[in-house]
Amino acid sequence: MATPDTSVSEALDLIRRELDTLIDGAIAEANDAETDAFEAVADLLADAERVFVVGAGRSGLALRMTAMRLMHLGLEVHVVGEVTTPAIAAGDVLLTASGSGTTGAIVHAAENAAEAGARIAAITTAADSPLARLATAVVVVPAADKLDRSGTASAQYAGGLFEQLVVVLGDALFHALWKRSGASADELWPRHANLE
């Protein structure tokens, strides 16, 4: 039997260590502000007439996973940029992810959403970013954004850790909202894709 490539093994170990460190740190250092921020995003999503999601690159792909899970809950969800996405309006929520909080298309979408009267939820590493300033609720994660190549916040390339956290936070938001709903897994299942 062949042994795994050492570089692959080392990469997997790095990711495990970083996620373990981040999760342990978040649990050990969790404070009311962080918990309140997460709850505020969950509240926005629960109260939204419709949810729109927008992110660029890998962050956008990660956020699309959250969009799918929110749809499984029965929320009306749209991915910005898809041809069937309607206009955003008051009562809607724009859920965004941008490590730097400065990605032009994401900030522009948030500005347009705010002008339309929608509320904005942001996942970012930068509490003082333009995106965070536009947001009604902000979850700040302690990860490197894609422009940080110092290796201080994360040894992973570009925004790897941030993108992984977008997936994990999205699943946590889904789980929190699912438990609030009281719906069973069987009740959610009929919303899964059946045209595959």
pLDDT recorded at residue 158? 58
pLDDT of residue 144: 59
pLDDT at residue number 36: 82
Task: Let me know: does 57 contact 96? Beta carbons within 8 Å.
Answer: no
CA torsion 97-142-171-110 (nearest 10°) is: -20
- Tokens representing 183 are 């719906």
C-alpha span between 194 and 98 (Å, rounded): 31
Q: Quick check: is 196 in a domain?
A: no
Task: Please state, in angstroms and rounded to a whole number, the distance separating the CA atoms of residues 154 and 22.
Answer: 10
> CA angle, 53 as apex, 49 and 56 as ends, to 5°?
165
163 is catalytic: yes
> Tokens representing 121?
């939820």
In which domain, by residue range, is 141 found? 28-81+88-179
Per-residue confidence in pLDDT tens, the chain, 196 aa? 455 556 778 878 877 877 776 665 554 434 444 678 889 999 999 999 999 999 999 899 999 999 999 999 999 999 999 999 999 999 999 999 998 999 999 999 999 999 999 999 999 989 999 999 999 999 988 765 656 566 565 556 556 678 888 888 899 899 999 999 999 999 999 999 999 7
CATH number at residue 58: 3.40.50.10490
Q: Is 96 left (phi over 0), alpha (psi -120 to 50) or beta?
A: beta
For residue 195, give the 3-state DSSP assignment.
coil
Neighbours of 149 (CB within 10 A): 9
Q: Which of 10, 49, 115, 163 is catalytic?
A: 163
- What letter does residue 191 receive in the DSSP assignment? G
CA quadruple 135, 97, 101, 112: dihedral sign: negative
Residue 6 forms part of a structural domain: no
- Which among 129, 164, 159 has a CA at the least distance from the CA of 147? 159
**Structural domain tally of the chain?**
1
Q: What is the pLDDT of residue 105?
A: 96
